[in-house]
């Protein structure tokens, strides 16, 4: 592992250099809100709250072409989309953990090549969280506030600059190829990183001391799902915004030539599991909501050995229903 | 190459099964064709309309790949409105199929409605490998006699030594056979206790399975083919889950004890 220091005023020159050979995705301000977008000189939003739409969008887009079909005298030829070489800058530990969750699901046999293709052509530069958001619970869910694996480079903001740690050969290469922007990190800076992350962790635990994977599992078994289902507005917002939600629909656009695309779908919506006969194995909103929670907190730990909730807090930020998403109880 | 890119299959023949159901024979244009087992399904597509899961209705012991399509909506209509020589997309085979190696020699096959398509694969497999099997009974029920699938094949099955019972829910003047539930056939036919394969509407599955249990079948020897909404057939899209399991990968065939414990655990 290489540990370096990048001062604040070297950040933009570094990104400019990287953007010469890669599409750099970074949090930038758009209409006053931070969003992940292709960087082409916009103001960076690295110290803003983690954007509401997660950078997983660039690994499993909410809409992507699986292939193009072209008809010629009744027969078809198929073209796969070409994938851009990308670097995601500023992916938070929670979202990085979600990448690991998706890796396990999508690349398990039979491997989803469309996902794997994007994943392989994307460099991940993580940004550790020294100032958690008000809904953040990565400390309780075990995904943050500092990332421990899965990154090519990990940045920790130290005030005057960033501690930069390499986590892969691709990360080392970036440090080696751009020596002009980095200097060696001091022991004091390394110690400062640990202290900042420990404080960040403590702050989250202090706000919600009783929350854990186990407390969620208990709440799930005790919940009155039909009551919660009645309170749910059925918008699907929680699932469309969740970084580990990966369910999709497949459809064709265009005749005789066109694209077979996949687009985000949600088990919260009633048509998701409805069958041809009209019968629906999850007939009530309560059953659908229960399935969403069980998938994250019960089924995924069982199937892939990781919780499907990374504690990013996004579902809490978007949900307008009058129930407590952590206690799974109606709000007074 | 992406596993979403289908093979191309030319429609070789289209046969009318009922007024809203056709039997379609396919010839796969690439590679060595499909190697599959009874109970598996394929993802069939009409380019421009989309893709949906369809059971394989033919037996792997025969050359032609066949599917039996019932008009349900856009894609199924698109498949049925195609002509001989047209090209469909085919992916698969998907799913597990019936575990023939564990099913023994004496087999009861029970179908209800359009669920009989997947069982035809199993019946014809047994007919073609007759000496590997013992007492085999086929019972099948549809709403009316006009809705019965594969009528011209029953004779051949009987000639191969299978015992075949057919019933309809609603009789009419043209029908001289049984009227009533599929389960009523179980009293009339001599059924050897062994293993069973069932596909049909949930109510029918449960009543047949429960009758079989009272006859001495073990619930781990009763195999059910389940239907779920499916989009990918690869265990990725999430549409077909029952708890932690994906019916498209872990199923569609489950033993009855497993289905019960899956559904009860929810
Ligand atoms: C394992 C399996 C085997 C099947 N085998 C056969 C078969 O051998 N022959 C046959 O005719 N049909 C079979 N089906 C059913 C067939 O897949 C559906 O009829 C078809 O998907 C409907 O698509 P459509 O575009 O024609 O109808 P649509 O216009 O899409 O919709 C009609 C209805 O079907 C539901 N539906 C849509 N897509 C699906 C889907 N992917 N899965 C389930 N329901 C859906 C819709 O919610 C709607 O209620 C099988 C289904 C499964 C899961
Ligand atoms: S965001 Fe809230 S209201 Fe919307 S579907 Fe999810 S639980 Fe229901
Ligand atoms: S059909 Fe997509 S997961 Fe089963």
| pLDDT at res. B260 | 87
Min Cα distance B30 → chain A (Å) is: 12
**For B99-119, what is each residue's pLDDT tens digit?**
999 998 999 999 999 999 999
Which tokens sit at A113?
A: 């090549």
Element spanning A13, H or E: helix A11-18
Condensed to tens digits (0 to 9), the pLDDT of residues B139-189 reads 999 999 999 999 999 999 999 999 999 999 998 888 888 999 999 998 888
Q: What ipTM did this prediction achieve?
A: 0.91
CB atoms under 10 Å from CB of B42, counted, come to: 28
Three-state DSSP at A196 gives helix
Return the minimum-mean-pLDDT range out of A122-126, A326-330, B1-5. B1-5
Is residue A33 within 8 A of residue A52, CB to CB? The reply is yes
Structure tokens belonging to residue B106:
């004496």
Q: Which atom of ligand 2 is nearest to the CA of A318?
A: 1
**What CA–CA distance (Å, rounded) separates B122 from B126?**
6
* Interval A15-33 mean pLDDT: 95
Residue from B92, B227, B238, B244 to probe ligand 3 pocket by mutation (most atoms less than 8 Å from CB): B238
For A96-127, b/e burial (b = at least 16 CB within 10 A) is bbbbbbbbebbeeeeebbbbeebbeebbbbbb
CA B51 to centroid of ligand 2, rounded, Å: 29
Give me the pLDDT at residue A298, please.
95
Stretch A299-318: mean pLDDT: 95
Report the alpha-carbon distance of residue B245 to residue B39 in Å, rounded: 18
B138, B143, B149, B155 alpha-carbon torsion, rounded to 10°: 50
Instruction: Give per-residue pLDDT as tens, A81-125.
Output: 999 999 999 999 999 999 999 999 999 999 999 999 999 999 999
Q: Which helix (H) or strand (E) holds A226?
A: helix A225-231
Q: What is the Cα A303 distance to its own chain's centre?
A: 19
Strand order in the sheet with A258-264: A75-79, A63-72, A258-264, A248-253
Structure tokens at B117: 């398509």
Q: Is A207 in a helix, a strand, or coil?
A: helix
* B57, B66 Cβ separation under 8 angstroms: yes
Nearest to B4 among A249, A260, A290 (CB): A260
Q: List, in order, residues 6 or more apart from A310 with CB less than 8 Å away.
A: A94, A95, A97, A98, A101, A138, A141, A143, A144, A243, A244
Contact A266, B231 (CB under 8 A): no
The CA distance from B260 to the nearest CA of chain A, in Å, is: 14
d(CA B58, CA B119): 9
Residue A126 has pLDDT above 90, yes or no: yes
Q: What is the separation of C-alpha A29 from the centre of its chain, rounded to a whole number of angstroms?
A: 19
**Could you report the per-residue pLDDT of A135-193, keeping only the tens digit for each?**
999 999 999 999 999 999 999 999 999 999 999 999 999 999 999 999 999 999 999 99
Q: Which residues line ligand 2 (CB under 6 A)?
A: A 232-238, 268, 318-321
Q: What share of chain A is helix, strand, coil (3-state, %, to 5)?
A: 40, 25, 40
- Return the bridge partners of A124, or none: A88
Provide the pLDDT confidence category of residue B190 given band limits of 50, 70 and 90: confident
As a dihedral over the C-alpha atoms of residue A10, residue A11, residue A17, residue A19, rounded to 10 degrees, the angle is: -170
What pLDDT score does A99 carry?
98
- Quick one: which H or E segment has residue A188? helix A187-207
Between the CA of B119 and the centroid of ligand 2 the distance, in Å, is: 41
How distant is the Cα of A208 from the closest Cα of chain B, in angstroms?
29
Helix (H, G, I), strand (E, B) or coil at A75: strand
User: What per-residue confidence (pLDDT) applies to B32?
Assistant: 79
The atom number, within ligand 1, closest to the CA of B74 reads: 25
- DSSP codes joined into one string, chain B: --TTSPEEEEEEEEEEEETTEEEEEEEE-STT-----TT-EEEEEETTTEEEEEEB-S-TTSSSEEEEEE--SHHHHHHHT--TT-EEEEEEEES----HHHH-S-EEEEEEGGGHHHHHHHHHHHHHTGGG---EEEEEEESSGGG-S-GGGHHHHHHTT-EEEEEESS--TT--SEES-HHHHHHHS---SSEEEEES-HHHHHHHHHHHHHTT--TTSEEEE-----S-SSS-S-TTEETTEEHHHH-SEEEHHHHHHHHHT-
Of B48, B72, B229, the CB nearest to A256: B48
| The pLDDT of residue B1 | 78
Residues B30-56 pLDDT 10s = 877 899 999 999 999 999 999 999 999
Q: Which of B44, B232, B252 to mutate to test the pocket of ligand 3 (most atoms within 8 A of CB)?
A: B232
Check CB contact under 8 Å for A302 and B244: yes
User: Which among B8, B72, B243 has the least Cβ separation from residue A299?
Assistant: B243
The two tokens of residue B94 are 């998907």
Domain ranges of chain A: 3-207, 213-330
Which H or E run includes A317?
Answer: helix A314-318
Residues A264, A253: Cα–Cα separation, whole Å: 15
Smallest Cβ–Cβ distance between B4 and the set A114, A258, A267 belongs to A114
Query: To the nearest whole percent, how much of chain A has pLDDT over 70?
Result: 100
Report whether B150 contacts B116 (CB < 8 A). Answer: yes
Write out pLDDT tens, residues A230-276.
999 999 999 999 999 999 999 999 999 999 999 999 999 999 999 98
Question: Rounded to whole angstroms, what are the CA distances from B235 to A255, B60, B227, B248?
Answer: 28, 24, 15, 6
A175-189 confidence digits (pLDDT tens): 999 999 999 999 999
- pLDDT value of position A66: 96
Cβ–ligand 3 contact at B240 (below 6 Å): yes
Is the predicted pLDDT of residue B125 greater than 80, yes or no?
Answer: yes
What the block records as the tokens of A164 is: 């930069």
Full set of structural domains in chain B with CATH: 7-94 (2.40.30.10), 100-265 (3.40.50.80)
Cα separation, A284 vs B266, whole angstroms: 13
The response to whether residue B94 sits with its C-beta less than 6 Å from ligand 3 reads no
Residue A29, beta-bridge partner list: A34
Angle made by CA atoms A155, A157, A159, in degrees to the nearest 5:
150
Cα→Cα distances A25→A64, A238, A257, A326, Å: 17, 23, 31, 32
Q: Is B155 exposed, middle or buried (0-12, 13-18, 19+ CB in 10 A)?
A: exposed
Contact assessment for residue B35 and residue B65, using Cβ atoms and an 8 Å cutoff: no
Q: How close, in Å, is residue A122 to chain B by CA atoms?
A: 18
Q: Cα angle at B262 between B212 and B240, to 5 degrees?
A: 110
Closest CA to B92 of B197, B199, B9, B14: B9
Residues 6+ apart with CB under 8 A from A211: A137, A140, A326
């Amino acid at each position: 592992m290489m540990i370096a220091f990048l001062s604040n005023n070297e950040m933009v020159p570094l990104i400019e250099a990287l953007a010469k050979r890669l599409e750099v995705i970074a949090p930038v301000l758009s209409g006053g809100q931070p969003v992940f977008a292709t960087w082409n000189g916009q103001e960076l939003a690295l110290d803003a709250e983690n954007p509401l739409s997660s950078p997983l969008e660039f690994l499993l887009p909410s809409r992507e072409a699986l292939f193009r079909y072209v008809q010629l005298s009744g027969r078809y030829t198929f073209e796969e989309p070409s994938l851009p070489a990308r670097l995601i800058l500023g992916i938070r530990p929670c979202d990085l953990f979600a990448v690991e969750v998706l890796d396990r699901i999508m690349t398990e046999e039979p491997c989803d090549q469309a996902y794997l293709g994007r994943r392989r052509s994307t460099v991940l530069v993580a940004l550790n969280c020294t100032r958690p958001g008000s809904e953040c619970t990565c400390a309780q869910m075990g995904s943050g506030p500092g990332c421990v694996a899965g990154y090519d480079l990990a940045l920790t903001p130290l005030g005057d600059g960033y501690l930069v740690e390499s986590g892969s050969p691709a990360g080392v290469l970036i440090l080696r190829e751009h020596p002009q922007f980095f200097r060696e990190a001091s022991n004091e800076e390394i110690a400062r990183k640990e202290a900042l992350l420990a404080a960040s962790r403590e702050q989250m635990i202090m706000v919600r001391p009783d929350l854990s994977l186990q407390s969620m599992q208990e709440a799930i078994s005790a919940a009155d799902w039909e009551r919660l289902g009645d309170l749910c507005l059925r918008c699907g917002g929680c699932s469309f915004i969740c970084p580990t939600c990966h369910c999709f629909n497949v459809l064709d656009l265009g005749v005789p030539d066109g694209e077979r695309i996949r687009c985000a779908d949600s088990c919260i919506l009633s048509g998701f599991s409805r069958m041809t006969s009209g019968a629906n194995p999850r007939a009530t909103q309560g059953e659908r909501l229960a399935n969403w929670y069980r998938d994250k907190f019960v089924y995924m730990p069982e199937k892939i050995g990781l919780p499907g909730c990374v504690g990013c807090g996004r579902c809490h930020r978007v949900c307008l229903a009058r129930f407590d998403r952590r206690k799974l109880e109606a709000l007074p | 190459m992406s596993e979403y890119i289908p093979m191309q299959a030319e429609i070789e023949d289209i046969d009318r099964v009922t007024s809203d159901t056709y039997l379609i024979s396919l010839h796969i244009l690439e590679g060595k064709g499909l190697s599959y087992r009874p109970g598996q399904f394929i993802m069939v597509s009409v380019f421009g309309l989309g893709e949906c899961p369809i059971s394989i209705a033919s037996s792997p012991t025969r050359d032609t790949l066949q599917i039996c399509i019932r008009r349900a909506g856009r894609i199924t209509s698109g498949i049925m409105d195609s002509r001989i020589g047209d090209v469909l997309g085919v992916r698969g085979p998907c799913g597990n199929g019936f575990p023939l190696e564990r099913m023994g020699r004496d087999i009861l096959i029970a179908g209800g409605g359009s669920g009989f398509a997947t069982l035809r694969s199993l019946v014809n497999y047994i007919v073609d490998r007759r000496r590997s099997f013992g007492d085999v009974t086929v019972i099948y029920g549809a709403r009316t006699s006009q809705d019965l699938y594969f009528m011209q094949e029953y004779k051949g099955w009987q000639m191969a030594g299978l015992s075949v019972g057919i019933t309809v829910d609603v009789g009419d003047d043209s029908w001289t056979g049984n009227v009533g539930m599929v389960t009523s056939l179980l009293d009339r036919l001599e059924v050897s206790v062994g293993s069973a394969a069932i596909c049909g509407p949930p109510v029918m599955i449960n009543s047949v399975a429960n009758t079989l249990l009272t006859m001495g079948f073990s619930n781990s020897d009763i195999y059910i083919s389940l239907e779920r909404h499916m989009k990918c057939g690869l265990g990725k899209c999430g549409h077909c889950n029952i708890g932690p399991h994906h019916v498209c990968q872990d199923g569609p065939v489950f033993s009855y004890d497993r289905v019960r414990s899956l559904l009860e655990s929810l």
